[in-house]
Structure 1
């Protein structure tokens, strides 16, 4: 899979996951009434993170928000916090990933900057997905605990021979939406992190070579001109005129009348 394809697929999965997390957080069916062995079937109760609802057999539904914060169970407040943190991180990661897409060119942004932004958004998506999965799992564990406690209380009267009326709650549709949404967000974040490696520019390493530059060494000696062969420095012998007063270079640049005789 190419880098662009991996990045785009991860981006789309993250969008779907974030939309699912928002939908699950706003749904009312986090817990639904268990109608198995329930003597009352004309009333159906279900609850969400923000309100509880009652639906009658006639089709009339009445919902009542939770008007208190401190009076709610600590686990419910923790689930609220996890879902909100997951949504906020997912929204920030989505905003960053839009500018990090390789198919979108913004000004003179380098590939290294896009790689860093892709990695950042991928990490945010991973944390967002983990928060959503953790929040839904905590709520599901609370439901399971309350379900079995209600079941034990239901058959505890008269040695289990008398059944008392207990309202038990089971998993609602919002839990499954939250699990799927958290998984999609998590997978999308992993794919964004994988795409980051393809966006990072490859660095070429060169071995250091020491080079010593040597200037030409010219020795001025009396006698004829002598040039050395090979790669070594060239040695030139200059003629001396007028008893050492002038050299050959000075004679060529400033000739006198006696030099043409």
Structure 2
């Protein structure tokens, strides 16, 4: 396959994956409450990495900052796991942006030597792959805590407690899927950039 096709494909996937990772990191719908209605007359509640929000029946949404272990429950009993998810997503965003920018520069700067372009492709590919792994890991950690919360609710009387105004039960929100998808797309983009590096070096050595 032509190196230009691999480079362009890797760049486009990197842009898509980066956008998905940024959107997932910034949104407040990583988890949503699966039983509507509580003492606050909320239509539904949803949590992100930064905010805990409640939307009323009138359509008004009010959000508060996610600070303190009591706000993180029932999903995260261990506060360090939540901070790990935050850190992984931020690192993923930064590396994906850096990789996408390097990928763009290797495409638009036509005066560069092939060996320099190849090194930029490889560096961008490695950065993008690491970004994708960070996104996948962060989303997976969050998902594992949701699953643990659901299991506790199912086998520990959680639904009854929720119906009586006790600890609410949360399930998967769209942002967790977007983060996971973005991470996988970034890994694919990084693989294409690495393949482009190999093809560029083959073409240069054949001369």
Taking the aligned partners of 1:154 and 1:63, their CA distance within structure 2 comes to: 28
Point out where structure 1 has 5 or more consecutive residues left out of the alignment. 158-162, 205-261
Q: Which has the higher helix share?
A: 2
In the alignment, which residue of structure 2 is the partner of 1:121? 124
In the alignment, which residue of structure 2 is the partner of 1:243? none
Point out where structure 2 has 5 or more consecutive residues left out of the alignment. 73-78
Taking the aligned partners of 2:38 and 2:62, their CA distance within structure 1 comes to: 17
Aligned with 1:197: secondary structure? helix
In the alignment, which residue of structure 2 is the partner of 1:105? 110
Q: How does 1:60-71 map to 2 (within 5 A)?
A: 60-68=60-68
TM-score by length of 1: 0.68
1:7 aligns with 2:10: no
Report if the CA contact (8 A) 2:153-2:159 is conserved: no
Shift of 1:203: 5.5
Taking the aligned partners of 2:85 and 2:180, their CA distance within structure 1 comes to: 13
Taking the aligned partners of 1:180 and 1:67, their CA distance within structure 2 comes to: 27
Taking the aligned partners of 1:156 and 1:57, their CA distance within structure 2 comes to: 22
1:92 aligns with 2:98: yes
- Larger RCO: 1 or 2 (CA < 8 Å, sep 6+): 2
Taking the aligned partners of 1:117 and 1:139, their CA distance within structure 2 comes to: 33
Q: How many residues align?
A: 193
TM-score by length of 2: 0.85
Taking the aligned partners of 2:193 and 2:159, their CA distance within structure 1 comes to: 53
